[in-house]
Amino acid sequence: MDAVTPIELNDGRSMPAIGFGTWQLRGEDGVDAVRTALESGYRMIDTATRYENEGAVGRAVAESGLPRENLFITTKLPGDDHGYDSTLRACEDSLTRLGLQYVDLYLIHWPLPRIDKYVDTWRAFIALREQGLVRSIGVSNFTGAHIDRLVRETDVVPAVNQIEMHPLFPQSRQRAYDREQGIVTQSWSPLGRKSDLLVSPLLAEIADAHAVSVGQVVLRWHVEMGAVPLPKSAHSGRIAQNHDIFDFTLSADELEAIGTLGRDQRLGGDPDTHEEF
Ligand code: A2P
């Protein structure tokens, strides 16, 4: 698979096989990073209202001069805006900040089961898709139980589930669930954030064997697992390098060895309890 081979979604649309993550990239730094990502070949940019950088992403997109139809822009609904009417308003506000007529993918950022409004929120997502303000709809940080409920109550299966995933937390069960439902798994913190993942001697050995970096090995692992990684970096060299993962493959033995790194321990929030307001 190469970077330009799109991933098919269950709603008939398609999505690039890798995207640029933008968490913590705000202001001018955010504009610069997204500009560099677009120049390096990324066509999917992942933002969220909670990241406070939709404006920066919108500026970089506008300044790139790239045709809108060649780009795939994702944003996410924050916790404060769960609920039917507030979701409709929040989406319009996101589009205004992004300076776009539509987003390619709109995600519920977290399920917030204590608040218990994610089904109503999902109904609003379905309406937004019908209105053409969003092209595809999905969720983030949802478990099988949350998704089962959406499907039971609305009959609409999310196109995407974006979850924390990296070799330390490989998400085998959630990925199997997503696959069975025809949902594409996207990985946030694909490089394991500030953990010790990138200094693993095992990964260094595999990287040497392919003459690539450890970061590239980890991102390639996501692709081999059938997931779509969303790496972020503020540095142009790493931004470009992270996109360049489509001309080598990992062997079955290497994948098995990487599998031994799993600790089944999250670095980020637990979907059943995490609250973001
Ligand atoms: P930096 O901006 O200094 O490049 P995550 O897993 O949450 O995406 O976090 C990855 C972190 O690792 C980023 O904050 C980024 O910081 C850094 N990083 C990104 N790409 C690479 C790479 N190829 N090699 C090493 N570190 C990387």
pLDDT tens figures, 152-201: 999 999 999 999 999 999 999 999 999 999 999 999 999 999 899 999 99
**Band of the pLDDT at 19, cuts 50, 70, 90?**
very high
- In this prediction, residue 146 carries a pLDDT of 98
Q: Establish how many alpha carbons lie within 13 A of residue 2's alpha carbon, considering only the half-sphere containing its beta carbon.
A: 3
Q: Whose CA is nearest to atom 19 of ligand 1?
A: 233
Sign of the torsion formed by the C-alpha atoms of 188, 165, 277 and 73: positive
Mean pLDDT of the chain: 96
pTM of the model: 0.97
Minimum-distance ligand 1 atom for the alpha carbon of 24: 14
Residue entry with tokens 């209202």: 49
* Dist. CA 74–CA 50, nearest whole Å: 13
* Dist. CA 48–CA 90, nearest whole Å: 11
Minimum-distance ligand 1 atom for the alpha carbon of 198: 25
Q: Ligand 1 center to residue 192 CA distance, Å?
A: 8
Q: Return the bridge partners of 44, or none.
A: 72
- In this prediction, residue 1 carries a pLDDT of 45
- In this prediction, residue 273 carries a pLDDT of 93
Residues with CB under 6 A from ligand 1: 21, 189-193, 198, 213, 215, 231-235, 238, 241-242
Give the mutation target among 233, 244, 245 for probing the ligand 1 site: most ligand atoms within 8 A of CB.
233
51 is catalytic: yes
Q: Ligand 1 center to residue 6 CA distance, Å?
A: 24
Selection from 122, 197, 161 nearest residue 271 by Cα: 161
Q: Whose CA is nearest to atom 11 of ligand 1?
A: 193
